[in-house]
């Protein structure tokens, strides 16, 4: 029972480099989300998707792009990494878009931009 799998788990980037974080879920969920978590800030929504081929901006979308070409995958891209993007990134999925049934989170990606 894989649930939500995020890769990579850790990464160190230099300022200006690019990378893609991959989120894969095997629960046939329609909704997928990318959050970042910083100390004292709580989880903040970067982008989300309500189905294959759709994406939408969340609270802090600047500097990130996303794609949902397949229902099970949600990719988060950083085109030109900045130190302010040092954070822990969590992907989540849900069947209804409502947290009442619980978001299933991946185990996180710890990204450091130097």
Binding site for another protein (CB under 8 A): 31, 33, 35, 40-45, 48, 50, 56-59, 90, 97-100, 102-103, 105-108
Nearer to another protein among residue 61 and residue 63 (C-beta): 61
Instruction: Find the shortest distance in angstroms from Cβ 16 to another protein.
Output: 28
Nearer to another protein among residue 70 and residue 110 (C-beta): 110
Nearest residue to 89 (alpha-carbon basis) of 76, 102, 74 = 76
Instruction: Find the shortest distance in angstroms from Cβ 35 to another protein.
Output: 8
């Amino acid at each position: 029972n894989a649930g939500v799998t995020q890769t990579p788990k850790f990464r160190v980037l230099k300022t200006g480099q690019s990378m893609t974080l991959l989120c894969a879920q095997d629960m046939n969920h329609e909704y997928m989300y990318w959050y970042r978590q910083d100390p004292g800030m709580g989880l903040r929504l970067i982008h989300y998707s309500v189905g294959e081929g759709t994406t939408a901006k969340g609270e802090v979308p600047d500097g990130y792009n996303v794609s949902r070409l397949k229902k099970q995958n949600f990719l988060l891209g950083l085109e030109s990494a900045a130190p302010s993007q040092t954070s822990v990134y969590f992907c989540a999925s849900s069947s209804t878009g409502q947290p009442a049934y619980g978001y299933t989170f991946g185990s996180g990606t710890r990204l450091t931009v130097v």
